[in-house]
Amino acid sequence: MARERWGSRIGIIMAVAGSAIGLGNFLRFPVQAAQNGGGAFMIPYFVAILLLGLPLMWIEWTVGRFGGGFGHSTAPGMFHTLWNKNRFIKYFGVIGIFGPIVIYIYYVYIESWLLGYSWFALTGRYSACTTSEEMTAFLRGYQGAASNEHFSGLGTAYLFFLITFAANLIVLYGGIRRGIEVVCKYGLPVLFVLGVALMIRVFTLGTPDPAAPENNVVGGLGYLWNPKWSALLDAKVWLAAAGQVFFTLSVGIGVILTYASYLTKKDDVALSGLSAAATNELAEVIIGGSIVIPAAFAFFGAAATTAIAQGGAFNLGFVTMPLVLQKMAWGNLLGFAWFVLLFIAGITSSVSLAQPAIAFLEDEFNLSRKEATLIFGLNTFVLCHAAIFFLGNGVVDELDFWGGTFCLVLFATIETILFAWVFGMENAWTELHVGSDITIPRVYRFIIKYVTPAFLLLVLGFWLVQEGVPVILMKNVKPENVRYVLGTRIMLVALFANLAAMVWFAWRHRRAQEAIA
Amino acid sequence: MNPGGWIFMGASWLFILALVAFSLVRVLAAKEEGGEPPAPSAK
């Protein structure tokens, strides 16, 4: 079978940018910046982009294209080609399929809320909710956490989940060129248009309540950007910036490896990687930083905005923003634009999370696209129910910890060491520049070999002590939720073991075929 | 917003816009030189 290819260069840049641009750009970044030094946060943030984000982008694009040349679209095969003398390295590559599946299990459900809320915004379903408490009750009713005047069960949420899940499968069934590339090429411009429209609306709010002149948009921008210099002396701020860069660029997951594997040997990766990162930053810092916090500040003031930011991303996206947008003229349409924007950000990310598993089935088991999509769809459909029915029991937090945090940092550390030290910096640098449209400054040879791995090990160590150990020991889990968290862990161990067994079987089968040939 | 806030916001925006402009110009220039890669048929 001929290997699938991207239809155009813009297509893959859009696809990688689409994978990177997610809910975090619009909800996580502004909160992180506001809580970690305001404008001063941008110093560690840009340092992390230059020393961690860009090198990882280039590593993943290069390893992906390199592995694709050997017919591998996923990390087990790629790691094996980088270090073919080591029999076990391919099992470390399993993380690059396992992690995306784990994130997909809960991400696609949250994505379905966005579709649901787009519909509610357009039809005015939540327009009677005028306070934070009422909007929270609406969200809890939708999630099935409470039965109230808005919802009497999970039925509506489940319906939107089915639609969203089916939409993802349709895109995935279309393949790289006719599915993912088409959605990203058309979806991303729409996302940017909606983002800029919302940004302009927020910037023209002025002072919504003349009785409270201190609550205005410029004050909101100041809340986000005024530098607090003492924050730079706090290690936690540097760690938060590194974490934000990590999560926002979609590095360390395995999806960029898979996307880049569909490039040809002579396609550029250096400029494309830089372009995808730049597009993501445009969405995050300029658009993401100009909507949520300034709008919340203009309507609710500094004290309430602090409380809102501490309430977390879900609260900000599904409670605060609908309330804020409702207060404006054409509130329903603006709410619709907000949730459609987030839904596009969601679906371009979720299809990228599904692709490594589908590509693994296609490459290593010689399945057709249709068969691979069907197997992936059936398995993840079952697994998603853990996130749907046990959302309030700590299951999603647990999935997010292992799939969305632990695996990311670990996988990035492994692939960086493999690329710079095992494959060798000389080979790595040459491979990175094959077909390149730009020359990367030579200082990056040093950065990729020494600084990025050291930075990653530092992040991994700090993070394990600060967050990892308490989560692993379930210190913050309510006693009644312990069994759900344990059940989730058993499910994850079974999933990882199953994927590792599939890798073992695929290589055994390959060796047998090579022996016959 | 104090002057420090304006400086940080302006500098961050300028840096990112410059990065986007550089990428866009180079991608378009490369496209004109070499053209889009041929699109082989999907499997």
For A404-437, the pLDDT digits (tens) are: 888 888 999 999 999 999 999 999 999 999 999 9
DSSP letter assigned to residue A492 = H
**Interchain proximity A40–B40, CB inside 8 Å:** no
The stretch A360-370 carries a mean pLDDT of: 94
- In chain A, residues with a C-beta closer than 8 Å to the C-beta of B40 are 2, 5
Query: What is the spatial distance between Cα A167 and Cα A351, in angstroms, rounded to a whole number?
Result: 10
Q: Calculate what percentage of chain A has a pLDDT beyond 90.
A: 72
Reported confidence tier of residue A489, pLDDT bands at 50, 70, 90 = very high
Dihedral sign for Cα atoms in the order A160, A166, A171, A172:
positive
DSSP letter assigned to residue A404 = I
Reported confidence tier of residue A365, pLDDT bands at 50, 70, 90 = very high
**Interchain proximity B30–A278, CB inside 8 Å:** no
Least CB–CB distance from A264: residue in B8, B36, B37: B37
Q: pTM of the prediction? A: 0.92
Query: What is the spatial distance between Cα A84 and Cα A146, in angstroms, rounded to a whole number?
Result: 54
- In this structure, are residues A90 and A507 in contact, taking their beta carbons and an 8 Å threshold? yes
**Chain position carrying tokens 């990025």:** A452
What one-letter code names the amino acid at A89?
I
pLDDT tens digit sequence for A240-276: 898 889 889 989 999 999 999 999 998 999 999 999 9
Q: What is the per-residue pLDDT for B42?
A: 40
Helices A9-20 and A181-203 meet at what angle, rounded to 10?
60
Helix (H, G, I), strand (E, B) or coil at A148: coil
Q: How far is CA A155 from CA A141, A144, A152, A388, B32, in A?
A: 11, 9, 8, 11, 53
Least CB–CB distance from A278: residue in B7, B16, B39: B16
From A370, A357, A158, select the one nearest B42 (Cα to Cα): A370
**Interchain proximity A271–B26, CB inside 8 Å:** yes
Q: What is the per-residue pLDDT for A33?
A: 87
Q: For residue A350, is it left (φ>0), alpha (ψ between -120 and 50) or beta?
A: alpha
Distance from CA of B19 to the nearest CA of A (A): 6
From A477, A414, A441, A449, select the one nearest A82 (Cα to Cα): A414
Q: Looking at the predicted complex, does its ipTM rise above 0.90?
A: no
The token pair that represents A280 in the structure block: 């993501």
pLDDT tens digit sequence for A194-218: 999 999 999 998 898 889 899 999 9
**Interchain proximity A226–B41, CB inside 8 Å:** no
Helix (H, G, I), strand (E, B) or coil at A171: helix
Least CB–CB distance from A8: residue in B22, B29, B36: B36
- Residues of A (382-401) whose Cβ lies below 8 Å from B: none
- In this structure, are residues A440 and A433 in contact, taking their beta carbons and an 8 Å threshold? yes
Query: What is the spatial distance between Cα A269 and Cα A433, in angstroms, rounded to a whole number?
Result: 8
* pLDDT, mean over chain A: 92
Distance from CA of B20 to the nearest CA of A (A): 5
- In chain B, residues with a C-beta closer than 8 Å to the C-beta of A179 are none
Least CB–CB distance from A1: residue in B27, B39, B43: B43
Least CB–CB distance from A222: residue in B1, B11, B36: B1
pLDDT tens digit sequence for A71-130: 999 999 999 999 988 999 999 999 999 999 999 999 999 999 999 999 999 999 999 999
Domain spanning A9-480, CATH architecture:
Orthogonal Bundle (1.10)
**Interchain proximity B19–A281, CB inside 8 Å:** yes
Stretches in chain B below the pLDDT threshold 50 = 38-43
Residues 6+ apart with CB under 8 A from A65: A260, A261, A263, A265, A267, A269
pLDDT tens digit sequence for A16-69: 999 999 988 998 888 888 888 888 899 999 999 999 999 999 999 999 999 999
- In this structure, are residues A113 and A350 in contact, taking their beta carbons and an 8 Å threshold? no
Count other C-beta atoms under 10 Å from residue A238's C-beta.
Answer: 23
**Interchain proximity A176–B42, CB inside 8 Å:** yes
**Interchain proximity A178–B30, CB inside 8 Å:** no
